[in-house]
Structure 1
């Protein structure tokens, strides 16, 4: 690990350790906004000709470092961070596409950083605040409650479900508790045409692991180049693509799974413990249309919307990720 990486890790870990030393009282909404909103910035992505493509949000986690959702940066050739009339060029530092978290670097950037809240303090029913730039409207705050903690099959937290409204442009924004601690990065929201108050964030605690996981992701292509492995003979695709059937699903979901396999990538299929399902894909949204966020959280959302209990991602593109 380089000195810079080590310094970032220590800075973030140091912020987290402060949580155990502080018994901060709950703040009023206006007080909380005044404290943490300077750490929330707009991200504007550009195409190869420098023309704006889309916008999202990012949160300052250390000096010159911000975190956003990776899908915010997807397909862009360059991007900048903005607040009011101030703009800075930024670069990608650490990508963790699997968790949809990307750390970005901004030179000569000294905005205040947030404190990171840990997952073992999260409770269903607690008050939360989302701050971001929905539809490009920067410094927007909404409130709600933590409505569920969505676990993976391994028993680890995958998504924080919230009722606080978020929209296109909120991706990468901050989810805060009443003490002003960052507990999540907002990543997916429901189209109100189909359902309300079903929105998701990824745990902020994952930020502590981002430098290590991101560096590992960056090292993979270089390792493969330095030590090329022998090319193995082509293997037949798994039988699931030929005779799709998931034993725990209802017949209607078996039919939905067959439809899912005909959709373009990127796509995701979610299943539940009581036989329900949901799916999403990049172009058309999914079982119900969304606003273009990553397919995994939307597939889980549609599974929940259809009555699913303990919904989890079963397949991403053509790969079974949770059996």
Structure 2
């Protein structure tokens, strides 16, 4: 006698109807009728009186329903106990480096789900530049990193996150550039620029402007964008940055103007190839793959 069949029988007894029970159990009526008939044959007795499409328990049926209630209750409690124990035993720590980006809320959502499912799991988020984060990733000081591409594909595995990061120019509202709806390459000629210290970013912008890095009027570099808000506000320079790093900060007196033709960068979760991880980190990676890989 299978637990599954006992649950079928108990549901029929509760509902008094095969059709209603089949609907609750998400199986077809013929399948449920066959399972009940086979159970009665196995036990050698009828379990229901069948009158006018109503199902009434026989004396044997009443006895079996009482036993089925006990067995099913114990089965459910046992399964729940193992699930609770698994959640308690599944503990550990995740360390993640994260650049300033629009996809930071995606990371927060995934971490939130993980901690709700496994309350013993803890985490640490390290915010910094791509260079700071990749250095820690290479040294094994963090498990995973949220980075802006390009990243070395020979060193890291990666999952592409759902939203691309749009580049633009952060300008003072007092600047004539704040009136523009979009920023074309000619608009940046001669403009004092604050730019990421990463050479890859500088080259990307220079290629977009169709000039060399040396021809760009870079008056200063930065690692984290919040360090330059006051410089932009005081018109020391305008900052090249991604929209996601400023859109949630509600900065006053500053305007983000997107570049045109558009420059968009993929945001990825990356980790070192061939590195062994704890079960907690492996589970987090598995969840990220399920969520974002086709």
Scaled to the shorter chain, the TM-score interval is under 0.3
Higher relative contact order (CA 8 A, sep 6+): 2
Structure showing the higher strand proportion among its residues: 1
The structure with the larger Rg is 2
TM-score, structure 1 length as denominator?
0.18
Structure showing the higher helix proportion among its residues: 2
TM-score, structure 2 length as denominator?
0.19
